[in-house]
Amino acid sequence: MLASIFKFFTSLKLTVVCLCMSLVVVFFGTMAQDPLGLYIAQERFFHSFFIDWASLKAAIEKTLQMVDVYVAAPTTGADVLAAPRIPVFPGGYLLGSILLINLIVTHYSRFKFSWPKAGIFLTHIGIVLLLVGQLFTDVFSSESSMRLSVGESRNYAEDFRKNELVLIDGSSAEHDVTTSIPQSRLRKGAVIEHASLPFKLRVLEYWGNADFTGESKPGYTKVDADKGFGPKIFVKGLPPVTAMDGRDMPGIVLEAFTDSGSLGRWFSAVGFSPRQVIEAGGKEYQVALRIKRYYTPYSLTLVEARHDKYKGTEIPRNFSSVVRVKNSESGEDREVKIFMNNPLRYQGKTYYQYQMAADEMMLRQGERPTSTFQVVENPSWLAPYLACVIVGLGLLYQFGLHLKKFFVRKAKA
C-alpha cells in the first residue's frame, strides 16, 4: 500500500499530468478574469484546492464569446459568489502541492547526484525555492495602500479589501486606546465582548456591501438605530464588488448593552464619517466601521504630486510624488521622491507609486492633487531573485551539456 503510494508520487507521468492540468487552470483562470474580476478569479482558480463549477463555467463562456459564440446570460462575479461551490477540477494549490511532493519525493528516492545531472538537480531546487517562496509570500506578505492629498500626513496604510470595527477610547491625554474587531467577526447576531470595553456589542444587521443616503429613496430602507446619526439614514444592500480596483463598503447596525440593559443602537458604515460615541463607565468610546489600518511609527506627508504627459498627447510620461518622511523615534525628517520604477524602501516596507489624480483639468479647477501608494511588506522578496538565478544556471548547464554532446557526436560522424 505504502509502496504503491510512493510509486504514484514518484511517477513522471504524474508530473506530466499535473503540468497539463496546470496549463488548463492557468488558461481558464486567465479567461475568467474578465467576467469575474482578478480577485475572484485568483481565489477560485489559483488560491484554491478545487475549482468550482460556476467559476469554470464563467471562464468557458468568456472563451466562447471571444470566438464570437453568443452566450445568452454570461455568469458574473456575483453569480459565482452566490452559487454553491461544486468542485469540478483541481485548483492551483492542489496541483502545486502534488507537483512539489512529486518533485521532492522523486529526488529523495531515485535521484543519485552525478555531474551530468547536476543541471536538472539545480533547476528543480530553484523551482522548489520559487514555489515555497510564493507560498511564504501568500502567507506572510501584506499589501495595503496609502492615499494622500497634497499637504496631508498619515502614519498608517489601509488594507485593500479588509475592514474593521473600532472603538476608540480618547480619555487618555497621551494616546488613544483603540479596540479593533476584525471584519470576520461581524456577522448578524454575533455578540462581541472585550476586556477593554465596559459593554458588549451585538450585531443586529450587517451588509457586506451597502450604499447609504440621508433621504428616502426607492430600494432604500430606514436604518433601525436610535443613537448617533443612524436614525436619519436610509440604506440599501448591494452585491459584492468584483472589479479589480473596486472594494466592498460594508454597513452595520450595532446594539451596545451591559448587564443592566441596552445602551442603544448605532449605525456605521465604511465611508460614513460623522463622529459617533457610545458612553459607558464614565468614558466616551468613538465607534466606527472603517477600512482596516496598519500603523507605522513614522508618518508620510505628500509635498508634491505630478502627472506629466508627453507634449500634445495623452501618453503619461511620468507619475511622481515628493513625500516628507518624519520619524520621531530616529529624529529623521527628509524629503523623498517616489516615481514609477523607483519606490521608497523604508523599515521593511516598500512604497510604490500606485495611483495618481493630478490631471491638469483637476488642477485648473483648483482641486488638490492626490497620490496613492501601494505599501508592501514581503519578508520573502528575495526568494524569486535567487530562484531565477539557480534555475537559469541549472538549465544553462544542462542544455550546454546536451549541446556539447551533440557537437562531439557530430564531429565524430
Partner 1 sequence: MKKHWPWILTALFVFEVLFALRPRVDKDGAFHTGAFGRLPVLLGGRQQPLDSVARNNLLIIRGTATVPLEGNAADGSWGAWEDIADKGGLTERKWYQFSKRPKKLKSIEWLLEVFARPDDADGRYIFRIHHPELLGELELEDKGVDRAGLRYYAFAQLSPHLGHVESEARTISGVDNERRTPYQKAVMDLFRGLQLYIKLKNSVRPQMFVDDTAHIFSPPNAALSGDAEAHQHADGQYSYQEIAPMIPKIREQAMSVPRDDEAQQSAYGSFLGRVRAYEGLKAVWRDEWRTDYTAELRDFEAVLKPGFEAVTKQQSGQEFDRTAFERVVSFGERYVHMANLAHPMMIPPADSTKPVEDWANVGKALMDSIREGSIPSPVMRYAEMMTAYARKDVEGFNKAVTVYSGELKQRLPDSVRKGGEEYAFNQFSAFKRAMMIYLAGLILTLFFWLRMSENLRRAGMQLVVLALVVHTVGLIWRMYLERRPPVTNLYSSAIFVGWGAAVLGVILERIHRNGIGTVTAAGIGYITLIIAHHLSMDGDTMEMMRAVLDTNFWLATHVTIITLGYAATFLAGFLGIVYIVRGLLTPSLNNETARSLAGMVYGIVCFATLFSFVGTVLGGLWADWSWGRFWGWDPKENGALMIVIWNAIILHLKWGGMIRERGLMNCAVIGNIVTAFSWFGVNMLGIGLHSYGFMDAAFRWLAIFSLTQLALVALGTVPLQYWFSVKRGILSPPGYKPAAS
Q: Among residues 217 and 317, whose Cβ is nearest to partner 1? A: 317
> Closest approach of Cβ 90 to partner 1, in Å?
15
Please report how close the Cβ of residue 315 comes to partner 1 at its closest, in angstroms.
Answer: 5
- Please name the residue that has the C-alpha cell 473596486: 246
CA 9, CA 106: separation in Å to the nearest integer? 7
For the bound state, the minimum distance from the C-beta of residue 38 to partner 1, rounded and expressed in Å, comes to 7
- Which among 236, 242, 243, 160 is positioned nearest to 205, based on CA atoms? 236
Q: Which is nearer to partner 1, 92 or 230 (CB)?
A: 92
Q: Return the number of the residue (76 or 350) whose C-beta is nearest partner 1.
A: 350
Q: How far is the CB of 250 from partner 1 (least distance, A)?
A: 25
Angle at 17 between CA 16 and CA 19, to 5 degrees: 65
Torsion of CA 258, 263, 267, 271, to 10 degrees: -80
Ramachandran region, residue 40 (left: φ > 0; alpha: ψ -120 to 50; beta: rest): alpha
Alpha helices in 32-91 (DSSP H): 33-36, 38-41, 53-66, 77-82
Residue nearer to partner 1 on the CB measure, 17 or 238: 17
Q: By C-beta, is 190 or 393 nearer to partner 1?
A: 393
Pick the closer one to partner 1 by CB: 86 or 388.
Answer: 388
Nearer to partner 1, 162 or 236 (CB): 162
Residue (of 68, 45, 49, 46) closest to 58 by Cα position: 45
Phi–psi pair at 225, nearest 5 degrees: -130, 155
Quote the CA–CA distance of 298 and 191 in Å, as a whole number.
35
Q: How far apart are CA 164 and CA 173, in angstroms?
A: 24
Q: Which residue, 27 or 49, has its beta carbon nearer to partner 1?
A: 27
CA pair distance 141, 294, nearest whole angstrom: 13
| Least distance between partner 1 and beta carbon 142 (Å) | 11
What span, in angstroms and rounded, lies between the C-alpha atoms of 155 and 323?
13
Chain centre distance of CA 123: 30
Distance CA 118, CA 186 (A): 54
- Give the 3-state secondary structure of residue 304: strand
Site residues for partner 1 per CB under 8 A: 12-13, 15-16, 19-20, 22-23, 26-27, 29-31, 33-34, 38, 41-42, 46, 66-68, 130, 134, 137, 143, 309-313, 315-319, 339-343, 350, 352, 354, 374, 376, 378, 381, 384-385, 387-388, 391-392, 395-396, 398-399, 402-403, 406, 410
Cβ proximity to partner 1, 159 vs 205, nearer residue: 159
Residue number, 295 or 310, with CB nearest to partner 1 = 310
SS3 67: coil
Nearer to partner 1, 109 or 221 (CB): 109
**Least CB distance from residue 12 to partner 1, whole Å?**
4
| Other beta carbons within 10 Å of 105 | 18
| 111-129 residues labelled b (16+ CB within 10 A) or e (exposed) | eeeeeeeebebbbbbbbbb
Specify the 3-state DSSP secondary structure of 355: strand
Q: How far is the CB of 207 from partner 1 (least distance, A)?
A: 28
| DSSP structure class, residue 173 | S
Q: Which three cell numbers stand for residue 408?
A: 562531439
Give the helix/strand (H/E) hosting 103: helix 92-109
Q: In the bound complex, what is the minimum distance in angstroms from residue 30's beta carbon to partner 1?
A: 4
